[in-house]
Structure 1
Amino acid sequence: MDSQLFKNAKIYLLDKIIENGWMLVDEHGKILEIGEGERASVSNEVSVDVKGMSIIPGLIDVHIHGGNGYSFMDGSYESLAEISSFHSKHGTTSFLATTSTASKEKIIKALNSASESYEKGMPGADLIGVHLEGPFINEKRSGAQEKSDIRLSSKEEIEEYLKASNHLIKLVTLAPEVENGFEAVKYFKDQGVTVSIGHSDANFQEVLEATKLGATHTTHHFNGMSPLHHREPGVAGAGMALKELTTEIIADGIHVHPEMVKLLLDVKGVWNTCAITDAVFCAGLPDGEYERVIVTKGQVYLKDWSTLAGSTLTMIQSLKNVISFTGYSLLDVLPSYTMVPARQAKVEHIKGSLEIGKDADFLIVDDDLTLYSTFVNGIEVYQMTK
């Protein structure tokens, strides 16, 4: 691949916008230089005129189960490749493939496929690891997770999962208050895994104890957790009150009311809020009845209509929603979609911002955040059909 010079662009850095900028990407897909004003390309560079549109960092989703009819729990390279391609068309440049509560054998199959897929590489968004959601959760807050497969954690089972994934597990969702839960928090933390409190009925004191042991994250905040009450803050209140915790948010306007999305951003700030999709296999599919779920107007429910079962949200739509819900600017809110998930997935040294030496993962968008192109490691993996 030749070096590429992207010019005549509005470039979004961490703390400022370069209005008339250019960015040079080397032949290895790394950002080599960023500048302002005019710069002519040289003989070994391909010149790309962005025509005044914006270059923003690629969006990173640390909680994604599937899309376009495919699920990570299918346990195949084909499924992960389809998920990668689908979400790259909607602004995602990196993701953590996320498991669901299931039998040990099914989870191990999915983890094996993640390890294989990581080595092969993805056609769209970069697979940067795994988010292990369950099975070590609280049945009382299980949501759409399979109750029959919920179980207590053990060091032996955790080690099996770490080995099956070739240590690609970057994030784990668990309930610390159940038996063996606190031990699991400490063990995962000691293995370098970001520990998230989710599908949990913990009280404030239990959450506080979990943070002392190393928990630093909450899963789809407000959903699948003990709610905020003025006499017992629960997980929802603890996540808002404790600076040690970064809170995920599904900003589809369904899982969390728009005003509560704004409240969370106002209280936690963009550097402690992590935007996610929680997208499931039916993201991108038309309304209808599928396996265990029904999709109507983009909302996913179990067939008894009792419980939301993931989302059909995409990251670019989430970004538009949060700007609309909060009144924040694009520059203000971008960290929740870029550097924060990169930090929580432990890849902030190579992804999450447009900086020299980092992977050239970026989007070309217009002022309305219409997506024109997605680049991953300097390669265009999606281009809007003209």
Structure 2
Amino acid sequence: MEKTFENTILIDGYGNRVRSPAIAITEEGTIASIKEGEAATCTNYLLPGFIDTHIHGAAGADVMDGTAEALKIMQQALPKEGTTGFLATTLTASPEALNKALTEAAKAIKESRGGAGLLGIHLEGPFINVKRAGAQPVQWVQLPDRNLFRQFQETSGKNIRIVTLAPELAGSSGLLEEIKKSGGIASAGHTDAGFAEMEEAVEAGVSQVTHMFNAMRGLHHRDIGTAGAALLKDEIFAELIADGIHVSPAAVSLLYKNKGAEKVLLITDAMRAKSMAEGTYTLGGNKVHVKNGQAVLEDGTLAGSVLKMNEACRNMMSWTGCSIEEIVQMSAVNPARRLGLSDRKGRLSAGMDADFTIVDEDWNVLEVYIGGKAIYRREEQHESHSDSGL
């Protein structure tokens, strides 16, 4: 099967551009070959599908609903913003609620349900610092516990890929050992760790920070804290919610200039109100009011976002002046590499999964393909590409 995309530039994630590409796709849904077509005026971009490694919900559904239907809704909704893969992200909750959510996520990962691929689980909490809890329910926060994590990992079918924790807390060293043993990523988040504590944490296995600048000790000239450590230390990757609400455009630029595209992971940290009307929703049992693109608790605390991945890409490019190749690095290449999936996802070449997103110059999503199949197509654009077999 072959699909030709006229008036389109393919950005492959290796630093190459292919004009008006013809993509041959195998029956297994991988790329057989990519050939360049005739030179033409190109107005659209074909990119590796976005991978969102931190998302709680969308379209009225939430991972913590603990149901197959909630995950299915998310899988069907996310391609509309160009996302072809994601990590189901949990919230601090009772062990019973967490086990229920992990059980359902494990089933969804094992089964092929269509839509965006569920690539694993991001365990955000309960091993966090109450002082930096943010919108996390404080009644279920607890000290790091390697045995409890081991049990969560078993319940998840060994699918927990990222664990957000506060590394300054007692018990974190044992938890970090367990995360490393399981092949997971330890991410410092909802943490009050100072710079010295972050240095120790990096030595112990922390290699990432969760939603940079948010729910962490900020930069001070006598102790540059968690945020300063993330900016300074090359070992650390940084998640970024590029919505202009959680992080200002100036702070986005500061991160980009210090870390470069190679160490930034664009995420949404979205909750169930994404793609829904303004109003009142829930997160972790708490009311969340959504208005003017902001999601806040009753006391004004930010409670996740309603950001879409294509919007994050648009904002990042606008605020930093980065290249579209760097956007691909931050939205697809880096997350695939971090999850150990770079042999299949994050780039476009022979042998890779045929997961790709087509956007116009304004970052509107026109078409999305997962496993070589058209999952989403914007109606007014459905005849813009010639079809020769797919």
| TM-score, normalised with respect to structure 1 | 0.94
Aligned pairs (5 A) from 1:318-333: 318-333=312-327
Aligned Cα RMSD in Å? 1.7
* Greater Cα offset, 117-126 or 334-343: 117-126
What are the Cα deviations for residues 144-202 of structure 1, in whole angstroms up to 9, with x where unaligned?
00001001122221111111110010111000101101221121012100110000000
Q: Partners of 1:326 and 1:71 in 2: how far apart?
A: 32
1:205 equivalent in alignment to 2:200: no
Partner residue, 1:91: 82
Determine if contact 1:97/1:131 at 8 Å carries over to the other structure: yes
State the partner residue of 1:310. 304
Question: Are 2:346 and 1:352 equivalent residues in the alignment?
Answer: yes
How many equivalent pairs are there? 374
Between the aligned partners of 2:333 and 2:128, the Cα distance in structure 1 is 28
- Return the alpha-carbon distance in structure 2 between the equivalents of residues 149 and 255 of structure 1: 24
2:329 to 307, 318, 335: 335
Q: Distance in 1 between matches of 2:259 and 2:113?
A: 33
- For 2:173 and 2:195, the matched residues in 1 are separated by 14
Q: Is the 8 A contact 2:209 2:230 kept in 1?
A: yes
Find 2:261's aligned residue among 264, 270, 284. Answer: 270
SS at match of 1:308: coil
Tell whether 2:178 aligns with 1:187: yes
Q: How does 1:238-277 map onto structure 2 within 5 Å? A: 238-277=229-268
Question: Which TM-score applies when normalising by structure 2?
Answer: 0.93
Q: Is the 8 A contact 2:76 2:116 kept in 1?
A: yes
Aligned to 1:31: 31
Can you list the C-alpha shifts for 1:79-101, whole angstroms capped at 9, x where unaligned? 00101111111111000000000
2:11 corresponding residue in structure 1: 12
In structure 1, runs of 5+ residues without a counterpart are 39-49
Deviation of 1:255 (Å): 0.2
Q: Which runs of 4+ in 1 moved over 6 A?
A: none
Deviations 1:205-261 (A, max 9, x none): 111111111111100000000001111010000001010100000000000000110
CA distance in 2 between partners of 1:264 and 1:98 (Å):
24
Of 102, 116, 133, the residue aligned with 1:125 is 116
Secondary structure at the aligned position of 2:9 is classed as strand
2:295 pairs with 286, 292, 300, which one?
A: 300
Name the CA distance, whole Å, in 2 between partners of 1:332 and 1:144.
31
In 1, Cα distance between equivalents of 2:371 and 2:37: 24
Aligned partners of 1:142, 1:53: CA distance in 2, in Å?
Answer: 41
> Percent of counterpart pairs with the same letter?
39
State the secondary structure of the residue aligned to 1:311: coil
What's the secondary structure of 1:87's corresponding residue? helix
Query: Retained in 2: the 8 A contact 1:137–1:200?
Result: yes
Compute the displacement of 1:345 (Å).
Answer: 1.9
Letter paired with 1:325: W
Distance in 1 (alpha carbons) for counterparts of 2:315 and 2:279: 24
